[in-house]
Structure 1
């Protein structure tokens, strides 16, 4: 599997070193050999990046590069950089690393942003998920496996029956509660002293609706959390960590270059919708977004909301034990078609 990071200099902070460190941390030799890790320094002057030229880079990753383009293309990129046209430059950088990985011939290509951290054991879980997509689900037309999503994008929507019929839900719970209390009062005379008509009225018209509303406020992800390999064709955000099958890359790159500019994640979703391609996610997220300071002049309130809440429930020691057990039982056999 070919993996690529796109990294740029950020003011006063550098998340990139921790991103690469967490990617490789805990991998045994077999797991490391299954990966080709590539880094693109996406500044036209890469020397301004604090990690450029560091000795550890050449020791830990397989390829370190800056732009290898024509002079005309280089000047265009410099102009985009100076004008802060991140919509166009972001699309260019994404297609650039997709092409870099495509020529390696690996069946899967992962593109990562530079402000993330990985959970221990992310690789065997990812490989099992890819195996499940291709061999158990036998999915043919699928675009990516998502290793990061934010639960804020998976809240109640009009697609949820309970949410789109909220008034009916409130009415039914009130009727059910009222019926149950009246039946109790009728069949158990000893309860009539406590279940008088006034009490039943308060319970049915105030208490039950209040608790019903609380259920909606708790959120769908807390009531019915998702686990394992799930299909996520809608509402998944963002492009922090996506794994693509090789055969989908040429057409995706052509589409992105034709569109030229925009929010990369939105363009990818637009392409997938237009081609009716399935999209999957590994739940809970195997990656966390930690970049509060955006590389694209994004507001801090937006970067803070790009957060995988369930990722924080991970127990590092439990993940380490699970990872060691995964290695012992030979889960890397799934990598035979992914290295």
Structure 2
């Protein structure tokens, strides 16, 4: 009965045992911390399937968007009186590409358009030409639940369909062709042909009907953050200044280094954390972690051996062989692995700013440089005629690669993918994973302050005063604003 406590006491007197227990305590506390704060990073070992896609800011923003849209549908004069329409020289031609989806309640495009307009200032609205492209065939009015009420609301500068805009000589044949593409929902390549052509057609429509230097293509199942338009306009100004750097030169084909090409293809407003991971994942041999562990452990061991030689004997015994083995053979590899396994997005995130990035998922919200829009549209139309056309989110990347154009992202991201029912029969589980946890961290009060700041920088104090008056009168605005 006396031996067990004595054995435990003797074991705890060993420096190596104490070092091991300290390591286990640190790892346990870190694991608790990781499960509390890293659970939304899909590339983290702490990711939670149950709570990883919890909605925070997007729930607030959808409430604002839906409140605004409901008020506008009830009183169509409200949007016209408070916001007006695009001016004669808009900076951005924005197109929502939408098809009817089999969802309960409100169609995604309703909330998307609501988030596009809610809290927008009159000055911002003048700079953005809004189009709604109902891409259903053969009859959008019958196939899309939102067609009638969004048309009646008068909130868009143009609502168009294939029926209303295709040249008469080719309209019937094209609509029959598109109808065939969507008959077999299991034929992914046929659906892709239609989706790719929709994308090209939306680009064409902006080029044909506006002189806007930027073309924003939005999927219908997104939410845009408060102040998205002013922030995007400021980011575009930064890009134009970046492109003037004399060290830049004519683009060449391939994965060009940042800072080299003197022109760009698109600005990304949405990205997902699955695109931010370490290149090799988080296995122990991934990212050459075994080599890094040796590279850290061996110099550390030599330093500790040298320190032990210099220490008094009563202190040096705390760095015995077992302790050194725990530190250099176990703690270093384990801590390094935990660093990678915690998730790059969770640990480091994406600092605010505008920068060139070659990675990125999806085409939920991209702003294109008009300079290359016609050529990109032709590229997409040719692809849509192939047996295997490719996806509309990957083809612009391929186009940029082949021409050496820069691809740019601006952080924080201003759009969230809110859809769960795909228009091209992607599984619901995969659709929900196209998600930005960083968007959910946005704070309404901070966004409101930044919105004011951006409007002031772009349009002056008068536009800010006008915006404040709008917030008092408009739905979805004043209740959510922090006094400035």
State whether TM-score is above 0.5.
yes
Which protein is bigger by CA-based radius of gyration?
Answer: 2
TM-score, normalising length: structure 1: 0.91
Measure how far apart 1:55 and its partner are: 5.3
**Superposition map of 1:1-339 within 5 A:** 1-13=92-104, 14-44=107-137, 45-46=139-140, 47-54=142-149, 58-67=153-162, 68-69=165-166, 70-84=171-185, 85-103=190-208, 104-138=210-244, 140-157=262-279, 164-189=287-312, 191-226=315-350, 227-233=352-358, 235-260=359-384, 261-327=389-455, 329-332=456-459
Measure how far apart 1:73 and its partner are: 0.8
Is the CA contact (8 Å cut-off) linking 2:272 and 2:360 kept in structure 1?
yes
Measure how far apart 1:83 and its partner are: 2.4
Measure how far apart 1:163 and its partner are: 6.0
Alpha carbons of structure 1 residues 283 and 141: separation in structure 2 relative to 1, 3 Å: same
Most deviating of 32-41 and 176-185 = 176-185
User: 2-side partners of 1:25 and 1:183: how far apart?
Assistant: 65
User: 2-side partners of 1:55 and 1:217: how far apart?
Assistant: 46
Could you say what secondary structure the match of 1:264 adopts? coil
Most deviating of 2-11 and 50-59 = 50-59
Equivalent residue, structure 1, for 2:34: none
Consecutive unaligned residues of structure 2, counting only runs of 5 or more, are 1-91, 245-260, 461-484
User: 1-side partners of 2:459 and 2:241: how far apart?
Assistant: 16
Measure how far apart 1:249 and its partner are: 0.6
Q: Which has the higher contact order (CA 8 A, sep 6+)?
A: 1
Could you say what secondary structure the match of 2:393 adopts? helix
Equivalent residue, structure 2, for 1:337: none
User: 2-side partners of 1:33 and 1:156: how far apart?
Assistant: 42
Could you say what secondary structure the match of 1:36 adopts? strand
Residues 160-195 of structure 1, C-alpha deviation per residue, up to 9 Å, x if partnerless?
Answer: xx9643332111122243234334433333532432
Is the CA contact (8 Å cut-off) linking 2:289 and 2:336 kept in structure 1?
no
User: 1-side partners of 2:377 and 2:444: how far apart?
Assistant: 37
Alpha carbons of structure 1 residues 258 and 152: separation in structure 2 relative to 1, 3 Å: same
Residues 114-141 of structure 1, C-alpha deviation per residue, up to 9 Å, x if partnerless?
Answer: 0100111212221121111112342632
Measure how far apart 1:255 and its partner are: 0.8
Q: How many residues are paired up?
A: 329
Consecutive unaligned residues of structure 1, counting only runs of 5 or more, are 334-339
Is the CA contact (8 Å cut-off) linking 2:97 and 2:220 kept in structure 1?
yes
User: 1-side partners of 2:202 and 2:297: how far apart?
Assistant: 56
User: 2-side partners of 1:316 and 1:41: how far apart?
Assistant: 31
Task: Give RMSD over aligned pairs.
Answer: 2.0
User: 1-side partners of 2:425 and 2:130: how far apart?
Assistant: 27
Measure how far apart 1:64 and its partner are: 1.3
User: 1-side partners of 2:224 and 2:418: how far apart?
Assistant: 11
Residues 65-86 of structure 1, C-alpha deviation per residue, up to 9 Å, x if partnerless?
Answer: 2213211111111111212321
Is the CA contact (8 Å cut-off) linking 1:5 and 1:111 kept in structure 2?
yes
Most deviating of 88-97 and 185-194 = 185-194
Measure how far apart 1:323 and its partner are: 0.9
